[in-house]
Structure 1
Amino acid sequence: MPSSIARPAALAVAGLIAILPLSMVSCSAAQKALDCGNTAVRITGDLADVTQAYDNASNDSAAAGKALQKLKNDLDQVGKNSKNTDVAKAVTDLQKQVENVQRAADRNEVPDLKPLGNAAGNLTSLCTG
Structure 2
Amino acid sequence: MARAATPGTHLGAAERRTAGAARRTRCDTRRSCPRPGDSTRDERGGRGLSAPFRRGVAALAQYLQREGHERPVPRKHEEPVDIDGQEHVVKLGVFISNTKSRRNRLTPEQRQALTELGVQWAA
Q: Relative to total residues, which structure has the larger helix share, 1 or 2? A: 1
TM-score by length of 2: 0.32
Q: Relative to total residues, which structure has the larger strand share, 1 or 2? A: 2
Is the radius of gyration larger for structure 1 or structure 2? 2
Q: Which has the higher contact order (CA 8 A, sep 6+)?
A: 1
